Structure 1
């Protein structure tokens, strides 16, 4: 997620709103309904007024058909949000609507904490959303939310370093082999080849490499693939990078190695949309390359969606508000302010004059939203520990993959 999103402050936004339902224009309803929406600090303090205006516009649109309803927006910190959600909802309290990403959707759906909204969302309502974003909020063939934003990840190259090592900035690597050849030149010249955040989520480190190798981690049928021949290639690749000095020695535990890139110490950084702004602010001349492939060109790209909690007493009304939050107009406003990629194809026009964001938006077409399994976030720390042990030299790549598979299977039981 965007670095700026990690700020943990709480702001309550009370906005009067109305609620209705249906994909078509609903007749005005005099029903009195109270809805609570939990949002997060999607922007920094400098854009607080802008995001509040977006919520106000959503509210104003909702008022047109629901004059006697009230919607309260409450901003919740990113830190420890899952714990807050689960404990609050388990106590039959909490919001009507809140924000999740795909591997959280599976977890909350399995715990019956969020509502299946299939019956309230028609085929007409689903038109316009990208296929990948709708797939990301569908679990076991049931729809659990409506997406509002997407994000993708790829390699950002320092053009100055590329020129120094004699690389063609218009012919960047497409495969692991090509990257290894270029990276070796960067290392020889005294740079790191790329970043690797071993202490961050595996969605941004190990998992994209497993998918690129043609492997997988686990699926919603509780099948485990993380230690098969293709998946192990990713463990081997990371281990080789570490040994060859392609990645820094603190890659084992570092959570954010973007500063290395911004300081001109690394040829390529694995990053998301937010790195565009950071690079420009730090006067780094960069070019965005392919996510790479060994067997499959793919990457990680999250989808942010709003869901309806099962404690809501107004599920049908809540879904109507979801539709308003994620319609084309409001999606454009939301993503223009936050800098994310819209989940609707028609809203991508906001980046027609922004070639870097347009390129990152293209990568969402080949992006995977994470591991679609209800235990995905639960077993991730164990897998991460095994990768770290491998880099420390106490496990071989195959042993790290095998231990990870054993751990995953334990959770899935």
Structure 2
């Protein structure tokens, strides 16, 4: 999932770019011809869950070191919530930055603009790129260069309780937001359960924006589009879902309450990601019957197309690394087909390579369920260094709209003005 970026950091993007630690430009001409000759120590910052996912990555690192005995990997698990500011601080100062870092896809443009990560085009890090799905591969590019290698991916889909839909007489999950609202009302009327629980986080608003042909901004036109007619239509639909289709939202603890209600059968449908499925299976609605959990694309809007944001992580190489050859080789190894198969089996995350979707990997219901959703609906977020920071004012005004404290139009106009402070030189569409 995406993380926010501090306003102060965004305001100083230009200045920081000028002062960013230099290093290699990514030219691989000086690297030994034989990978077995590459030697030295590199540091890897891993943001995977320390308890449930990190053991899989540590096991792969041991395999890498066995294959390349002259290279030592200094593994460090850095909490996902801390890594952004920690990496930017280290990269800016030129002290303590890792050689390779697991990077949220929403941060790629900012890190590249700041000059903190190396372009990887023409290096061994990018191997067999045609095997990568275009969906996660699109998250690695910025201004014509490739700055990362896709490691794991995800997106938002529609999770649903099959038994509740069947009890309500609904044969298929809703294909449009209008159907979604209508089905939610039917479910409440016929089963007593709520149709949905609206997540008021602005990241979960993206499917509504995208499916209505809206977005946060248009970099090519240098225009802020969050208050245009398509966005107004998307937010109007979101307000209608909140008012007519959703269980009452506890804005102070929305995510946890949403999850609890869904997994225990009090809510029939959720816009959610694959990271929630393990928790869903612990609830009374699914613990004894995992097949009761259904997977579908998010509904389509007035734009006629279901679309959802691409999430996940890419591996990036620090521009100032003192051992770029080993960093490239490590990145290549950790994103290979065999590594991705091991990661999928060990952590339940979705691979980014098409060849990694083996029968054994897709035996995981979550991976099998989200694979077609990724292929059909996922799209990269707008490639702006400030994109993470845009979610903060959007979230604040979105909540005001949902609570009835602001009209849709006024709330989005306020959001657009706040975006202008983060996007100098951009006009409001």
Instruction: Give the alignment's TM-score, normalised by structure 1.
Output: 0.86
Given the alignment, which residue of 385, 389, 392 partners 2:396? 385
| Alignment match, 2:8 | none
Q: Is the 8 A contact 1:300 1:368 kept in 2?
A: yes
| Alignment match, 2:20 | none
Q: Is the 8 A contact 1:42 1:338 kept in 2?
A: no
Work out whether 1:37 is the aligned partner of 2:44.
Answer: yes
Work out whether 1:120 is the aligned partner of 2:123.
Answer: yes
Given the alignment, which residue of 145, 148, 152 partners 2:151? 148
User: Per-residue deviation at 1:124?
Assistant: 5.4
Work out whether 1:400 is the aligned partner of 2:411.
Answer: yes
> How far apart in 2 are the matches of 1:362 and 1:136?
18
Work out whether 1:300 is the aligned partner of 2:304.
Answer: no
| Alignment match, 2:238 | 238
The residue correspondences of 1:294-333 to structure 2 (distance < 5 A) are 294=301, 295-333=304-342
> How far apart in 2 are the matches of 1:368 and 1:95?
29
Q: Which moved more, 1:320-329 or 1:310-319?
A: 310-319
Shift of the 30–182 alpha-carbon distance from structure 1 to 2, 3 Å rule, reads closer
Work out whether 1:79 is the aligned partner of 2:78.
Answer: no
| Alignment match, 2:59 | 53
| Alignment match, 1:338 | 347
Shift of the 31–353 alpha-carbon distance from structure 1 to 2, 3 Å rule, reads closer
| Alignment match, 2:9 | none
> How far apart in 1 are the matches of 2:89 and 2:185?
49
User: Per-residue deviation at 1:369?
Assistant: 3.2
> How far apart in 2 are the matches of 1:341 and 1:404?
34
Q: Is the 8 A contact 2:136 2:310 kept in 1?
A: no
Segments of structure 1 that go 5 or more residues without pairing to the other structure are 3-20
User: Per-residue deviation at 1:196?
Assistant: 2.1
| Alignment match, 2:281 | 280
Task: Output one character per residue of 1:63-98: Cα deviation in whole Å (capped at 9) or x when no partner.
Answer: 1xxx43322111111222211111111110210000
Q: Is the 8 A contact 2:56 2:343 kept in 1?
A: no
Q: Is the 8 A contact 1:149 1:343 kept in 2?
A: yes
| Alignment match, 1:17 | none
Work out whether 1:215 is the aligned partner of 2:214.
Answer: yes
| Alignment match, 1:371 | 382
Instruction: Give the alignment's TM-score, normalised by structure 2.
Output: 0.83
Q: Is the 8 A contact 1:34 1:71 kept in 2?
A: yes
Segments of structure 2 that go 5 or more residues without pairing to the other structure are 3-27, 287-291, 425-429
| Alignment match, 1:197 | 199
* Structure 1 residue ranges (4+ consecutive) displaced by more than 6 angstroms after TM superposition: none
The residue correspondences of 1:5-16 to structure 2 (distance < 5 A) are none
> How far apart in 2 are the matches of 1:132 and 1:191?
35
For these two proteins, the number of residue pairs brought into alignment is 384
| Alignment match, 2:427 | none
> How far apart in 2 are the matches of 1:25 and 1:360?
41
Shift of the 140–220 alpha-carbon distance from structure 1 to 2, 3 Å rule, reads farther
